[in-house]
Structure 1
Amino acid sequence: MDDPILPAPAMVYRSMGSGPSWQRIGAGVMDKSGIANDQRDVRPATWSLIYVLRGRGVYRDQDGREWALSPGWCFQRLPDRRHSTVLDPASGWRECFIDLNPALQRVLASMQALRSETPAWHWGLDAGRVQRFVDVIVALRHAGERALPGLCLDVMRLAIDAQPDPSAVAAGEDAIDRACRALAADPAGRVDLRTWCRGKGLDYERFRKDFQRRLGMPPGQYRIRRRIDRACELLETTELPIAVIANELGYPSPYEFSAQFRARMGLPPTRYRAR
């Protein structure tokens, strides 16, 4: 390990039976430092559980709901359910993951052991939990064929143990989660957070410090990041002129939009669109 709680990148898959490649189980550690658009509106063929070890990002489900991701968070990639994950490329993202084939996922979901209604939740960053992922990776790599059924049970047990308590998830819908959603829904910046906090009965300075501690950036920087995320989406999926995008996102002029986009992404909007 290159850190007491950060295992080195590794990945292993084992086939289950003689079916297609997605009929398998897998586990690994991935380093995605420098990556921004990790998954954009994808429909995965397998079920995955991702456990965030380092970095910051956003998970967006097919209904437009969003969760801010940071170390200790888990999220699911659900078979045939569209979702996106956008990462902060400067945050040094690293994750553990396990994969199950759809047949196993359906069995567990039918018993309500996997909760698809909660795609992302905070599990807490813990060295013992990280070690469980590492143990599964090592076992999958070295196990003989006769040991695979038992290892499959180990992967399923880890998937179940990581699932959130429904009551805890409901209680965890705190002010920072709500603020992140409000900022994501308002890329043009019309939401004034001081006014928003007053309406929720919150002290703004305490909220700002809690926000910084949770996400590793102040609310203003988070708003800029979400604004640039939206700009990338519009540049990739529409032919709207740069001036129209700048206006939609609340920039005073296309020049200010281009300057902030370039500072964040390393290239101007026109070159980003032409890639």
Structure 2
Amino acid sequence: MDDINGRKNSHKFHSKEMLFESELLAKECANINSPLNYSRTLGASQNWIGCGYIHKPGVETEHINVKFPFFSLVYVIRGTGSYTDENGKRHLLSPGSIFQRRPKVMHTTVVTPNSDWQEYYLDCNEELYEHLSSMSLINKDIAVYDNAVCPGIKSDIESLMAQLQNANEEEVFDAYLRFLSIIRTLLTSQDEVNIPNDMITESLTDFEVRYATRFDLKEYCSNKGWGYEKFRKTFKKHMGVSPREYLIRKRMDEACRLLRASKKRISVIASELGYASQYEFSNQFSKYFKVAPKHYREGV
């Protein structure tokens, strides 16, 4: 297939627009000013990578309840809009926002009229997306990231576009490495935005009260308005352990105290610490201390 400027695109598959279940995106082409897209297959495999630039200067553009058949990571460089994820949660978008269009996951994207929207994006086929997710390069649970600070990322993406346009078969692998590097830079840039210390203090206060109850950390962060991944990594940086490990340690410390300072049955201690059964408690205690609760109490 040819790109919009008439240059040959080495992607060996059908035009990506043809893969959509609706014709909505194709109808939007007339509203997009000078889009650029380059994509290449990786050797003899069925995998491909791509990247591009889109400028939507005027009218409102909407992807309403769309399922992309491939993965796309979008970096907003100008304009405003919103992204509604598969759960109906609406995220505001502005320069620096990064959002994922995950394969076969329903979402809605709306661009604010006359906000002069401009974006860079990287994309790949579903199989490669699953592979990158399995290596934790991409987090499937995060649809929209907070605004990122990525100095030089524009020139990096433009260099990748030129590389994909001009690379011979032997050079495509180098383009793939650059592709991975850019994704890593975009997604790990979130870690450079510091979470205020009072947020860590607040979580420690909450954990002191709630460690003996089971609760979902992602839901906890959502209720606080915090990004889970950013909180998890920053908590570990401050405390030396992840939030989950910290809560387990708190339960284990209290278990030790109760086993030695009280005559409560082990099943009661397990229940008080939020475990579904004595077996679950004993199993975790044994893994943590390399000794069964009963033997710890007896001093064996």
Q: Deviations over 1:119-170 (max 9, x none)?
A: 1113435451111111110111111011112211211221122115787899
* Cross-structure match for 1:158: 182
Q: In the alignment, is residue 76 of structure 1 matched against residue 138 of structure 2?
A: no
SS in 1 for 2:137: coil
* Cross-structure match for 1:90: 114
1:45–1:169 CA distance, 2 compared to 1 (3 A): farther
Q: In the alignment, is residue 32 of structure 1 matched against residue 59 of structure 2?
A: no
Matched to 2:36, the amino acid is A
What CA distance in whole angstroms lies between the structure 1 residues aligned with 2:151 and 2:187?
17
* Cross-structure match for 1:214: none
Q: In the alignment, is residue 15 of structure 1 matched against residue 50 of structure 2?
A: no
What CA distance in whole angstroms lies between the structure 2 residues aligned with 1:141 and 1:165?
27
What CA distance in whole angstroms lies between the structure 2 residues aligned with 1:60 and 1:100?
22
Q: Deviations over 1:64-93 (max 9, x none)?
A: 111100001110110111111001121010
**Aligned match for 2:91, one of 67, 81, 95:** 67
**Are the equivalent residues in 2 in contact too, given 1:40–1:84 (CA < 8 A)?**
yes
**Are the equivalent residues in 1 in contact too, given 2:75–2:97 (CA < 8 A)?**
yes
**Are the equivalent residues in 2 in contact too, given 1:14–1:140 (CA < 8 A)?**
yes
**Are the equivalent residues in 2 in contact too, given 1:123–1:162 (CA < 8 A)?**
no
* Cross-structure match for 1:53: 77
Structure 1 unaligned spans of 5+: 1-7, 173-199, 201-275
What CA distance in whole angstroms lies between the structure 1 residues aligned with 2:70 and 2:194?
27
SS in 2 for 1:42: strand
What CA distance in whole angstroms lies between the structure 2 residues aligned with 1:90 and 1:163?
28
Q: After superposition, where does 1:145-224 map in structure 2 within 5 Å? A: 145-164=169-188, 171=195
TM-score by length of 2: 0.50
**Are the equivalent residues in 2 in contact too, given 1:71–1:125 (CA < 8 A)?**
no
Q: Deviations over 1:165-209 (max 9, x none)?
A: 78789959xxxxxxxxxxxxxxxxxxxxxxxxxxx9xxxxxxxxx
1:126–1:162 CA distance, 2 compared to 1 (3 A): closer
What CA distance in whole angstroms lies between the structure 1 residues aligned with 2:50 and 2:60?
24
Alpha-carbon offset, residue 37 of structure 1: 3.3
**Are the equivalent residues in 2 in contact too, given 1:54–1:70 (CA < 8 A)?**
yes
**Are the equivalent residues in 2 in contact too, given 1:123–1:164 (CA < 8 A)?**
no
1:125–1:55 CA distance, 2 compared to 1 (3 A): farther
What CA distance in whole angstroms lies between the structure 2 residues aligned with 1:64 and 1:168?
28
**Are the equivalent residues in 1 in contact too, given 2:74–2:119 (CA < 8 A)?**
yes
Identity over the aligned pairs, expressed in percent? 29
Count of matched residue pairs: 164
SS in 1 for 2:69: coil
Aligned-residue Cα RMSD (Å) equals 2.6
What CA distance in whole angstroms lies between the structure 1 residues aligned with 2:41 and 2:135?
24
What CA distance in whole angstroms lies between the structure 1 residues aligned with 2:132 and 2:151?
26
1:42–1:168 CA distance, 2 compared to 1 (3 A): farther
Matched to 1:55, the amino acid is G
**Are the equivalent residues in 1 in contact too, given 2:83–2:108 (CA < 8 A)?**
yes
* Cross-structure match for 1:260: none
1:166–1:130 CA distance, 2 compared to 1 (3 A): closer
What CA distance in whole angstroms lies between the structure 2 residues aligned with 1:156 and 1:147?
15
Structure index of larger Rg: 2
TM-score by length of 1: 0.54
Alpha-carbon offset, residue 12 of structure 1: 1.1
